[in-house]
Amino acid sequence: MSTPDPADAVLRVGAIGFDEPRALLAEHGLSLIEVADGEPIPGSFWGDTEAGIIGTTVYARADTPVHSLLHEACHLIVLPEEKRALVHTDATDSIEEEDATCYLQIVLAGHLPSVGSQRLMEDMDRWGYTYRLGSTRAWFEQDAPEARAFLLARGLPVA
């Protein structure tokens, strides 16, 4: 008998619906497009169920993990507005941007009543995000001052 994959337990967009994340993304100048079940997700870097980004639009299906939707959206949010329109599939320019993206996705999960930051951090661990302190929560609380400073410098939320 095989052991279940912990990644199968992550919260999916279909479980919370598209309205809540769509409203949150709109607050940051982004659109969220629902992709039909079984259809390829436009702008997805990893393919499969992972969210995609093109310009100021995030694409996701019902089976897309919430952490993936938030992660890709946050890649766009951390960019200056003039750079967003140029993005297609891959938005990361640096480790600093990647760290800020991870931090911001946790913060924004706290703005989604159906999700919350704690659940998102657990899902990030289940999915396989790795941090030197051993967990997403430990990184977020103890080892991310640069990510926090990056967001503050751009006027983005850190709580």
- Report the pLDDT value the prediction gives residue 5, as an integer from 0 to 100: 76
**What pLDDT band is residue 30 in, cutting at 50, 70 and 90?**
very high
- Lookup result for tokens 């939320």: 157
pLDDT, averaged across the chain: 94
75 pLDDT above the threshold of 80: yes
130 pLDDT above the threshold of 70: yes
- Alpha carbons 89 and 105: distance in angstroms, whole number: 18
| Phi, psi of 53, deg, nearest 5 | -135, 135
pTM of the model as a whole: 0.94
